[in-house]
């Protein structure tokens, strides 16, 4: 099985920074795209950022210039550096990874989420 565990969430003031981490473990041959999503209370889960195995990145317009996604392939870990945080960034943040578990199978794994609260 594949397990993703997020960490780094917490309470910060507007303008502050947090770094989220998500480590993938288990029977993984390789990891393709890794992504961050977020979900605020009463809202749908929205895309935040993605990074490919080769390091190409893409961001939601709402976080461009403030958030940076990165990964350490040796550790099967993805990071989200969040700077200049705004109250609207408050949400549960989830990591997602497309993992290659066999030569014939991909597994789309999700972490349990970590809460980020930005106070004004």
Q: What is the pLDDT along the chain (120 residues), one digit of tens a residue?
A: 899 999 999 999 999 999 999 999 998 889 999 999 999 989 999 999 999 999 999 999 999 999 999 999 999 999 999 999 999 999 999 999 999 988 889 999 999 999 999 999
pLDDT score recorded for residue 1: 83
Sequence-distant (6+) residues with CB within 8 A of 111 are: 4, 5, 6, 22, 94, 95, 96
pLDDT score recorded for residue 102: 86
pLDDT score recorded for residue 29: 87
> From residue 36, how far is each of 20, 66, 97, 104, 120 by CA, in Å?
10, 14, 9, 25, 24
């Amino acid at each position: 099985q594949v397990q993703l565990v997020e960490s780094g969430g917490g309470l910060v003031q507007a303008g502050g920074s947090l770094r989220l981490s998500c480590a993938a473990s288990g029977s993984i041959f390789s990891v393709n795209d890794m992504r961050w999503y977020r979900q605020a209370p009463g809202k749908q889960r929205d895309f935040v950022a993605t990074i490919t195995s080769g390091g190409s990145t893409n961001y939601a317009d709402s976080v461009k210039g403030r958030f940076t996604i990165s990964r350490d392939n040796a550790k099967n870990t993805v990071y989200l550096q969040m700077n200049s945080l705004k109250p609207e960034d408050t949400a549960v943040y989830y990591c997602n990874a497309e993992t290659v578990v066999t030569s014939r199978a991909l597994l789309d794994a999700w972490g349990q989420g970590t809460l980020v609260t930005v106070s004004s």
